[in-house]
A and B are shown apart, each in its own frame.
Chain A
Amino acid sequence: MKTVEEIKAAIEAAVPGAGVEFVSNPSASAQHSLRIAPQSAVAVAKFLRDDADLAFDFLSNVTGVDWPDKEIAEKVKVMRWVTKTVDGPDGQKVDQPVEETVEETRKRIESGCLEVVYHLYSVGKKHGPLVLRMRTVNRTDQVDLPSLTPVWRSAELQEREVFDLYGVVFGGHPDLRRLLMWDGFKDHPMRRDYVEPDDFEYEPTPHDEVLKRAQERENREQRTEGPRDRGLAAG
Chain B
Amino acid sequence: MTVVENKAERAEGWNRPQVIEPDGEGELLEVAMGPHHPSTHGVFRMDVALDGERVVRLKPVFGYLHRNHEKIAEGASYLASMPYTDRLDYFCSLTNNWAYALAVEKLVGQVVPERAEYIRVILAELTRVQNHASSIGFLIQEMGASGTPLMYAFKEREKILDLFESLTGSRMMCNYMRFGGCRVDVSASWLDATRKVVAGLPAFVDEFEALLSSNEILMARCQGVGILRPELAINAGVSGPMLRGSGVNYDVRKVDHYGIYDRFKFRIPLGDHGDIYDRYMVRILEMRESIKIIEQALRDLPAGPIMDTRAKLRGFRPKPGEAYGRIEAPKGELGFYLISDGGLNPYRYRVRPPSLINLTILEDMCLGHNVADVVLIFGSVDIVLGEVDR
Contact = CB atoms under 8 A, between A and B. Distances in A.
Contact of B335 (A26, A57, A61, A156): A61
A154 B66 contact: no
Given A29-B107, A154-B236, A180-B62, A119 B356 contact: no
B237 A59 contact: yes
Interface in B269-324: 318-324
B84 to A, nearest CB: 16
B120 interface: no
Interface string A198-223: 00000000000000000000000000
Interface string A41-63: 00000000000000001111101
B232 A153 contact: yes
Contacts of A25: 321-322
B369 interface: no
A179 interface: yes
A179 B324 contact: no
Nearest to B352: A61
B263 interface: no
Most buried by B among A57, A155, A156, A180: A180
Contacts of B236: 152-154, 156
A152 B16 CA distance: 10
Q: Chain A binding site: helix, strand, loop or mixed by DSSP?
A: loop
Contacts of A129: 324
B255 interface: yes
Nearest to A121: B255
B357 A27 contact: no
Given A157-B356, A180-B66, A29 B106 contact: yes
Nearest to A119: B324
B367 to A, nearest CB: 15
Contact of A26 (B16, B321, B326, B361): B321
B108 A27 contact: yes
B320 A26 contact: yes
A180 B318 contact: no
Contacts of B337: 61, 63, 117, 119
Interface string B4-16: 0000000011011
A101 B322 CA distance: 42
A184 interface: no
A190 to B, nearest CB: 6
Interface residues of A, number: 36
B350 interface: yes
Contact of A154 (B106, B357, B389): B357
Contacts of B238: 154
B324 A29 contact: yes
Given A31-B323, A123-B248, A189 B359 contact: no
Contacts of A117: 337
A234 B71 CA distance: 28
Interface in A152-202: 152-158, 165, 174, 178-182, 189-190
A28 interface: yes
B231 to A, nearest CB: 9
Interface string B322-335: 11111000000101
B321 A154 contact: no
B63 interface: yes
Contacts of A232: none
B40 interface: no
Given A27-B340, A153-B15, A180-B389, A60 B106 contact: no
B65 to A, nearest CB: 9
Interface residues of B, number: 49
A119 B339 CA distance: 14
A126 B66 CA distance: 33
Contacts of B232: 153
B62 A154 contact: no
Interface string B58-72: 000011001010110
A189 B232 CA distance: 32
Contact of A28 (B12, B106, B234, B390): B106
Contacts of B159: none
Contacts of A119: 324, 335, 337, 352
Contact of A27 (B13, B71, B107, B390): B107
Given A60-B333, A153-B237, A31 B360 contact: no
Contacts of A29: 106-107, 109, 321-325
A155 B236 CA distance: 8
Contacts of B325: 29
A7 interface: no
Contacts of A154: 235-238, 357, 360
B152 interface: no
B246 to A, nearest CB: 11
Interface in B233-259: 234-239, 248, 250, 255
Given A27-B320, A65-B347, A154-B360, 12 more contacts: A27-B107, A27-B109, A27-B322, A57-B235, A59-B237, A60-B335, A150-B13, A153-B360, A154-B238, A157-B62, A180-B389, A190-B70
Cβ-closest 4 pairs across A and B: A27-B321, A154-B237, A28-B109, A29-B323
Interface of A: 25-29, 31, 57-61, 63, 65, 117, 119, 123, 126, 129, 131, 150, 152-158, 165, 174, 178-182, 189-190
